[in-house]
Amino acid sequence: MVRIRTACATLALVGAMVGVAAVPAGAQSTASATTCPTGWGSLAKTGADATVAPLTNVRTGRHTCFDRMVVDVPGAGTGVGYRVQYVDRLYQDGSGRQIAVAGGAVIEVRVTAPAYDPETGAATYPGRVARPLPGVDLTGYRTFRDTRFAGSFEGETQLGLGVRARLPFRVQQLDDRVVVDVAHSWNATG
């Protein structure tokens, strides 16, 4: 009985080794490669709309091919304008104060929505000038390195996004939000 069990175990082990050897080298990594979008570029991107609906939240997310920042403006529909561009340094509107943003490159995100209620002046977003964005934790991100709130001045909110290097990005204007995606690399795989 012991010999039969030993023989069965040996056959099972040999069968498993033959099955692994039958898979060509590199087949597993090729199957998991992801084709990523290309052609975004790194030049400034703009959307001309504007809204008086106030910005209420900024959140981030990690994806296979890019890191994402979402600026929420409830009630704005698709009327949220923006200007997103690489800058050498981030300067606060109104004061001209330089705001340090960590990373190999800095993206300035301007959203044409206030971070306050236009009727009362009460803050609708808890950001503090020159401080990291509240509730945003970039631990484990491949591209994002830092975020900073630069302020809200004359109905426009200004944010700083520190990234690993000058990489391609895209901006999408969706219902009640502006989405900024920054690619992990210039090539087309994740």
Query: How many residues are there in the chain?
Result: 190
Q: Is the pTM here over 0.95, yes or no?
A: no
- Burial of residue 73 (number of CB atoms within 10 Å: 0-12, 13-18, 19+): buried
Kindly give, in sequence order, each residue whose CB lies less than 8 Å from that of residue 51, ignoring residues fewer than 6 positions away: 73, 75, 76, 77, 79, 80, 81, 112, 113
Whether residue 24 is predicted with pLDDT greater than 50 in this model: the reply is no
Tokens (6 digits) for 183: 């690619």
Q: Which pLDDT does position 130 carry in this prediction?
A: 98
Q: Which pLDDT does position 47 carry in this prediction?
A: 95
Mean pLDDT for all residues in the chain = 87
